[in-house]
Amino acid sequence: MKIVRPLMLVFLVAFTGVLFAQTTPLPPKPSTPPKPVPAIPQTPIPPSPQPNAQAWVLMDYANGQILASNNMDQRRAPASLTKIMTEYVVAAELRAGKIHMDDKVHISEHAWRAGGASTDGSTSFLKLNSEVPLKDLLYGMIIQSGNDAAIALAEHVAGSEQAFAQMMNAYAQRLGMTGTHFINASGYPAPDHYSTAHDIAILSRALIHNFPDVYKIAKIKAFEWNGITQHNRNTLLWSDPSVDGIKTGSTSEAGFCLAASAERNGMRLIAVTMGGPDMNAATTGDEALLNWGFNFYRTHKLYAAGQVLATPRLWKGDADTLELGIAEDASVTIPRGRYDQLKATLEIPRTLVAPFRKGQKVGTLKVTFDGKPLVTEPLVVLKDAPQGGFFKRLWDAIRLWFHHGTGITSSPAPTVTVSPASSTAAPAVSK
């Protein structure tokens, strides 16, 4: 009799837990948004333009998607497209407070000779042993593509152009430019100095995103210094008002190159051509790629950083649910009129047991278009989820035992639906 009573007590507690688990109301399921209706009827997309260049690429700025390309990972001499990285490093040093726009920069003989001996005539007309404000050098390098200005900036930042090139390569590695290696700051032809159209697009995207104030210099059409007017070599600035950068480049080895970016109706694209027969070919090639991209594609912001995408059940926690989202905005670029072919899924472990820290990865957001993956982002915890008290943890342990048998599994969570931050309806989340 003494043994039976404790067993009955345990059975009663367990039965009560099961009953509680079965009768506790579940949180209401989010409502399913209406199926999105394409704003523009679906039309066939013609093949992309074929610029007269050895390598080229068209990239969407918002998400880095490649819309069209040819030999985009082929290593080539980048000529003065190199100066985009010089600009990036200088901008980073300015942001860090290590240099300043009003610094007086000494013009060494090395920098002076580079300006006078340039094969493509790119010079800011700097005088030997003069002192020039850093801001003027930056403007001269970006607008006029002055080799002397680029080298003077490199020496001011790192002490020597060779040391500066090491900084350039470190930043290239950090940005994921796997097909790039720099020897100098100007793009003057040198063995083992190369990049790719894809890498230049990656760099351009990072420059626009990380240093927008410095990037704005690229849209200035002319700059006067020391009584000399220096015109921007990017002629697209005159023919297309949506273009606001980025850089031209040419040498006998590299051919004619152009990295251009434009923004229309909130959508930005980046086009890069390398190895063209003349600058007109590079210009018309970039212009054709940009027009094609804007005419036939559209960028959709699906989910915002920090937006709650799922609130799965949390066991043994102070709260009963765990808020999950993504750390960065998620967007896709797809053919116009085909939004309904997007499909989003949330892969979440079936059982989540506290504690969790803010930013901890829990599951994955995947977005596909026409069956092809476009977005794969980790789902992260949006706020700390500490453990509950002793009795909460004990109670959930009993419920878990009856709810899942012996423990935790990694099968997907039930289907949920989320809504976007923008006015455009988000794709339904499904299994």
Instruction: Kindly list the catalytic residues.
Output: 80, 83, 145
Sign, Cα dihedral of 332, 334, 340, 346: negative
Any idea what DSSP says for residue 326?
-
CB 121 within 8 A of CB 186: no
Nearest CA to 66 among 75, 51, 56, 76?
56
- Rounded distance between C-alpha atoms, residue 400 and residue 415, angstroms: 21
The token pair at 253 is 């080895």
Phi/psi at 412 (5° precision): -60, 150
Nearest CA to 323 among 364, 358, 347, 351?
358
DSSP assignment string, 227-287: TEEEE-S-THHHH-TTEEEEEEEEETTTEEEEEEEEEETTEEEEEEEEEESSHHHHHHHHH
- Rounded distance between C-alpha atoms, residue 278 and residue 255, angstroms: 7
Helices (H), 335-424: 390-404
**Four-CA torsion 58, 64, 65, 68, nearest 10 degrees:** 10
CB 387 within 8 A of CB 354: yes
DSSP assignment string, 61-105: TTT--EEEEESTT--B--GGGHHHHHHHHHHHHHHTTSS-TT-EE
For residue 283, give Cα distances in angstroms to 147, 234, 247, 277, 358.
21, 8, 11, 11, 47
Nearest CA to 203 among 180, 184, 185?
180
- Rounded distance between C-alpha atoms, residue 398 and residue 181, angstroms: 60
- Rounded distance between C-alpha atoms, residue 428 and residue 353, angstroms: 27
